[in-house]
Amino acid sequence: MSHLFTIGPVEMFPETLELGGKQVPYFRNDEFSEVVFSVCDGLKRLLFNENGEIILLTSSGTGAMEATVLNCFSKEDKLIVIEGGSFGHRFAQICEVHDIPYKSVKFENETLTKDMIEEAIGDEKFTGLLVNLDETSNGQLYDIEMLSQVCCEHDLVFVVDAISAFLADEINMDKYGIDAVILSSQKALSLAPGLSIVSLSEKMLKRVEVIDSKTLYFDFKNHLKNAERGQTPFTPAVRIIIELENMVKRLEKKGIDNIIKETNELAVYFRKRIKEIGLDYPTYPLSNAVTPVIFPDENADVIYQKLIDEYGFTVNPNGGDLGKKMFRVSHVGKHSIDDIEELVVAISNLINNK
Amino acid sequence: MSHLFTIGPVEMFPETLELGGKQVPYFRNDEFSEVVFSVCDGLKRLLFNENGEIILLTSSGTGAMEATVLNCFSKEDKLIVIEGGSFGHRFAQICEVHDIPYKSVKFENETLTKDMIEEAIGDEKFTGLLVNLDETSNGQLYDIEMLSQVCCEHDLVFVVDAISAFLADEINMDKYGIDAVILSSQKALSLAPGLSIVSLSEKMLKRVEVIDSKTLYFDFKNHLKNAERGQTPFTPAVRIIIELENMVKRLEKKGIDNIIKETNELAVYFRKRIKEIGLDYPTYPLSNAVTPVIFPDENADVIYQKLIDEYGFTVNPNGGDLGKKMFRVSHVGKHSIDDIEELVVAISNLINNK
C-alpha cells in the first residue's frame, strides 16, 4: 500500500479504519439520529454557523456543489463565478446546465484581486458569488476577507466550496458572512469518499424555503425537514457518518485553530525544503492544504511514477498540459513533519538520479 | 451490536468488513480502473446485459432512480408508473419534479395484473414503464414476464428498479428485454450504503445519447465516457467499489441461480415457520428478499422493540398505519436457516409472553 500525499483520499487515522471495518448498523432509529445530531452540532461549531443548519448528502463534492446551486438560486438570479481553475469551471458548468445566469471571472496563474471581480461586476446587478476558496487544481487560496467584502458591498449571497480548504485555512461563516459552505469527506476530514456536507447560514435557509428546486434527491427542503429528527430522506452513507462523528469529536477536542496551525506548519516546512532542493512553487497565495511543486526540467510526470515505484509515495498528478510541469502534494490527512521530510528526500534523490 | 434482519443495511460478510477497514487508495490510476472494469464486466454477466453498459453512481438508490429518469426520458415521453407502494410513489414524484408526463397504476394490497396496466394504457400512446420489481415497502414481487410482455406489446422502454429484488429474484435483462436496471450497494450485495448502479441495455444507450439531461452530477453521457477508461467523472465511493469487486467475484463463483435458490429456501422456510407460530403474511406474490409478517393482535411495533431489547435482533419496521400491523424480515445478506430459526423462536416467545 502506497503512502498517500494526494488531496483525497488522504492518509486515514487508525480510529477511522477501525470503524470502517465494522458491520453497518440499521439507521432508522434513535441511536443513529443521535449520531447525526452529534455530527451536525459539531460541524456547526467548527464552521462557526451555530444558527444555521447542516445537510448531509450521499454524493461526491460535485453533487453537493450542484445541489447548492439548485436549492439556493433560480433563473431570476445572476451569479459571479470565480473561475481560476477546473473546480471554478465546474461551478460555471453547473450554472450552464441549469440555465442560471452567471458571469465568470476567468484567470490563470495570477492572483485573484478585488479589481478583477469589480471589473466583472461593473454596473450590473448580481445576486450571488460562487467560489472554490482553495482552487484545488492549482492550489490558489483566494482572499476570504476580500471576497467577503465584495459580497457585503454588492449584497451577494456568498457560497464557498471549502472542500479542500476546510481544516487547512480559516473558514468562519459568521465572521465572513458566508451563506453556504460545501465540504467533502475524503479531504482533511480524512474519511472515505462518498459523503458531502452543505452548511447553510440562517439567512440562506430563508432563501432555500422559497426556491422551487427541480430535484428530488438533492432537495434541501426535504433534507432539512428530515434533519429535524436526525435523519435523511434517503438511505445515507451510514458508515461514513459514523466515522465522521468520531472525527468531529477528535477535531473539537484538538481545536480548529490548532488544526489549521499544524497544517500550516507542514505546508511551510515542505515549501522551504522544496526550494532547498532546487524546485519551486507558484507565487500566488497558496492554501495550507496543498503545494503545487514546479519542476524546471518538466519531468514531474516521470518523478510522479518513480515515487510510486521506488518509494511507495503517491502524490497528486496534474492533468493535461501541466502534467510535466508540476504535481501537487497535500498536507492534510495523517501526516507528520517526518513523513514530509521522507517525501522531500525521495524527490531530491530522484531529480538528482540517485 | 444487533443482528440485522433489515432489508438494508444487511448482515455483511467478513471479507467485506476486512476490506472496509483498509486505507482507501488513490483512484485516478490504472490499478483502480482495473477494479472498475472487473466490477462492470461481472455485473453485466450477473444481469445478462453483456452488450450494455454499467454506470456507478455515488448516491443512494433514489439518486439512481432520479438519474435514470433524467437521462432516459424527456418531456416528450409519457410513462406508466407502477405505484403499488412508497417506492412506486417515488418514481411518480421524480416524474412530477421533472415535468415528465406519466400515469400511475395505483393499488394497495392486491396483486398487480396485466388488466390493471392495460386499463391504464387504454388507447393512449405511452413510451416507457417504470417499476420497482419488488415493491420493498410491502414485499410484493411483480410478474416480470407479464411486465415484459406489456412493454413488448406497447413498445415501452422498460425500467426496473431491482434494488431489493437483485440476487433474490430473477432479473435477466436479455430475456425480459429490460432497458435499465437500478441496484444499490446495501441490499443483497451486502455492502455499506452509498453506491448505486444503473445497468443500461444497448438499446437504452442509444436513447441516452440523444436526451438532453439537465444534470451535471448524474449525467450518464459523461459517466459513460469516463467508464471507457474505467473511471467516473467525479470522486466515487472508492471503498465500496473495492468491496463490490470482491463481492461480484464471490457471486460469480457461486452462480446467480444458486444464490437465488438459497435466498428462496430461506424465504420459504421462514414463511412456513411464521404460519406455524400463528402469524401470517400477505397473499400477493412475494419477493424472496423480504417477508412482511402480519400480526393479528396488531402488536408488531411492540414485538419489534422487544426483539431488539431482549434478543438483539433488528427487523424492518413499517411506517405509518402499518406500523402495528406488520414488520418486514429480510432474507438477503449473511444469513443461514439457523439464524432464521432463532428469529422465529424469538418472535414466538414474545407473542406468547414467554
Backbone angles phi, psi at B295, to 5 degrees: -105, 110
Q: Does B5 fall in a domain?
A: no
Answer for the pair A289, A134: CB distance below 8 angstroms, yes or no. yes
Quickly state the pLDDT bin for B109 (edges 50, 70, 90): confident
What distance in Å separates the CA atoms of residue B42 and residue B249, rounded to the nearest whole number? Answer: 7
Closest residue on chain A to B215 (Cα): A97
Residues B202 and B344 in one domain: no
How much is the pLDDT for A93? 98
Query: Is residue B85 scored above 70 in pLDDT?
Result: yes
Average pLDDT over residues A103-132: 97
For residue A245, tell me if it sits in a domain: yes
CB A175, CB A185: distance < 8 Å: no
CA–CA dist B115, B146 (Å, integer): 10
Place of cell 502506497: A2
β-bridge partners, B83: B106
Position A292 scores a pLDDT of 97
Q: A93 — contact with chain B (CB < 8 Å)?
A: yes
Q: Which CATH number characterizes residue A126's domain?
A: 3.40.640.10
- pLDDT classification of A319: cutoffs 50, 70, 90: confident
**Chosen from A12, A184, A212, A216 to mutate, greatest number of chain B CBs within 10 A:** A216
pTM over 0.90: yes
Its ipTM equals 0.97
Boundary residue ending a domain (B221, B254, B287): B254
Give the largest Cα separation in chain A, rounded: 63
Q: What angle do CA A154, A156, A162 make, to 5 degrees?
A: 130
3-state SS class at A104: strand
Query: Are B272 and B239 contained in the same domain?
Result: no
Q: Residue type for A156, please?
A: L
What is the C-alpha R_g of chain A? Answer: 20
Rounded to whole angstroms, the Cα distance separating A115 from A121 reads 10
**Whole-number Å distance between alpha carbons of B64 and A58:** 12
Q: Are residues A82 and A45 in the same domain?
A: yes
- What is the gyration radius of the CA atoms in chain B, in angstroms? 20
- Tell me whether residue A5 is in a domain: no
- Cis geometry, peptide bond prior to residue B9 (ω within 30 degrees of 0): yes
Q: Say if B47 falls within a structural domain.
A: yes
Q: Whole-angstrom Cα distance, residue B268 to residue A52?
A: 50
Within 10 Å of residue A288's Cβ, how many Cβ atoms? 26
In a shared domain, residues A229 and A293: no
Residues in chain A within 8 Å Cβ distance of B198: none
Q: How confident is the model at residue B322 (pLDDT cuts 50, 70, 90)?
A: confident
Kindly report, residue by residue over B126-184, the tens digit of the pLDDT. Answer: 999 999 999 999 999 999 999 999 999 999 999 999 999 999 999 999 999 999 999 99
How does pLDDT run across A48-100, given as a tens digit for each residue?
Answer: 999 999 999 999 999 999 999 999 999 999 999 999 999 999 999 999 999 99
Whether the CB of B12 is below 8 Å from some CB of chain A: the reply is yes
Helix or strand or coil: residue B33?
helix
d(CA A261, CA A264): 5
Q: Are strands A102-106 and A128-132 parallel, antiparallel or unpaired?
A: unpaired
| Mean pLDDT score of chain A | 97
Does A21 lie at the interface with B, CB-CB under 8 angstroms? yes
In this prediction, residue A67 carries a pLDDT of: 98
Whether B278 and B235 share a structural domain: no
Q: Number of folded domains in chain B?
A: 2
Give the span between the Cα atoms of B52 and B45, in whole angstroms.
Answer: 10
Q: Does A6 touch chain B (CB under 8 A)?
A: yes
pLDDT at residue A1, rounded to an integer: 58
Instruction: In chain B, count H helices and then E strands.
Output: 13, 13
pLDDT, residue A354, reads: 77
At a CB cut-off of 8 Å and minimum separation 6, what does A120 contact?
A: A80, A103, A104, A105
Assess B323–A contact: CB distance below 8 Å, yes or no. Answer: no
Distance CA(A53)–CA(B265), nearest Å, equals 47
Residue B231 has pLDDT above 90, yes or no: yes
Mean pLDDT of A117-129: 98
Q: Which residues pair with B186 in a beta bridge?
A: none
H-type alpha helices, chain A: 14-20, 30-46, 61-72, 86-97, 114-121, 144-153, 173-176, 202-210, 220-227, 238-254, 256-276, 300-306, 337-351
Which residue of chain B is at minimal alpha-carbon distance from A30? B305
pLDDT of residue A321: 82
Provide, as residue numbers in chain B, all residues whose Cβ is less than 8 Å from the Cβ of A1: 22-23, 25
Is B155 contained in some domain? yes
Looking at the predicted structure, is the pLDDT value of residue B354 above 80?
A: no
What's the DSSP call for residue A95? H
Query: Contact B9/A27, CB-based, under 8 Å?
Result: yes
Grid cell digits, residue A345: 528526500
Residues 6+ apart with CB under 8 A from A107: A83, A84, A116
Residue A286 corresponds to which amino acid?
A: L
Contact assessment for residue B85 and residue B134, using Cβ atoms and an 8 Å cutoff: no
Using a CB–CB cutoff of 8 Å, tell me whether B198 touches chain A: no
Q: Which residue has the higher pLDDT, A120 or B109?
A: A120
* Co-location of B247 and B274 in the same domain: no
* Residue B29: all three cell numbers together: 490510476
A147 & A213 share domain: yes
User: For residue B226, is pLDDT > 90?
Assistant: yes
Torsion sign (Cα): B253, B26, A57, A106: negative
Residues A163-183 have pLDDT tens digits of: 999 999 999 999 999 999 999
Same domain for B237 and B341? no
Same domain, A238 and A314: no
Instruction: Say if B3 falls within a structural domain.
Output: no
Query: DSSP of B106-133, one letter per residue?
Result: E-SSS---HHHHHHHHTT----EEEEES
pLDDT of residue B42: 98
* CA-to-CA dists, residue A346 to A54, A277, A315, angstroms: 42, 11, 12
Residues B33 and B179 grouped into a single domain: yes
Supply the DSSP string of A315-347, one letter for each residue.
EEEPPGGGGTTEEEEE--SS--HHHHHHHHHHH
What pLDDT shows up at residue B321?
82
CATH number of the domain at B330, please.
3.90.1150.10
Adjacent-strand bridge partners of A196: A57, A184
CA dihedral A306, A310, A313, A319 (to 10 degrees): 10
Q: Which residue of B lies nearest to A92 if distances are taken between CA atoms? A: B216
B180 and B267 fall within a common domain? no
**Residues A247-277: tens digit of each pLDDT:** 999 999 999 999 999 999 999 999 999 999 9
8 Å CB contact between B3 and B330: no
Here the cell at position B251 is 457471486
Q: What is the pLDDT of residues A35-47, one digit of tens each?
A: 999 999 999 999 9
pLDDT at residue number B1: 58
Across the interface, whether the CB atoms of B59 and A61 are under 8 A apart is answered no
Q: Which of B254, B287, B304 is the last residue of a domain?
A: B254
**Residue A190 confidence (pLDDT):** 97
User: For residue B1, is it within any domain?
Assistant: no
**Of residues A305, A304, A308, A270, the one with CA closest to residue A286:** A270
A6 contacts B24? CB cut-off 8 A: no
Nearest by CB to B63, from A20, A28, A217: name it.
A217
pLDDT at position B152: 98
Q: What percent of chain A has pLDDT over 90?
A: 97
**How is residue B187 written as a grid cell?**
441490499
Q: Are residues B215 and B296 in the same domain?
A: no
Exposed, middle or buried: residue A339 (CB in 10 Å: 0-12, 13-18, 19+)? middle
d(CA B190, CA A175): 45
Bridging pattern class, strands A326-330 and A290-294:
antiparallel
What DSSP line would sit under A124-177, residue for residue?
----EEEEESEETTTTEEP-HHHHHHHHHHTT-EEEEE-TTTBTTB---HHHHT
Longest alpha-carbon distance in chain B: 63
Enclosing domain of residue B250: 14-254
Is B214 inside any structural domain?
yes
- A22: chain B residues, CB-CB within 8 Å: 1, 17, 20-21
Domain end call among B204, B235, B254: B254
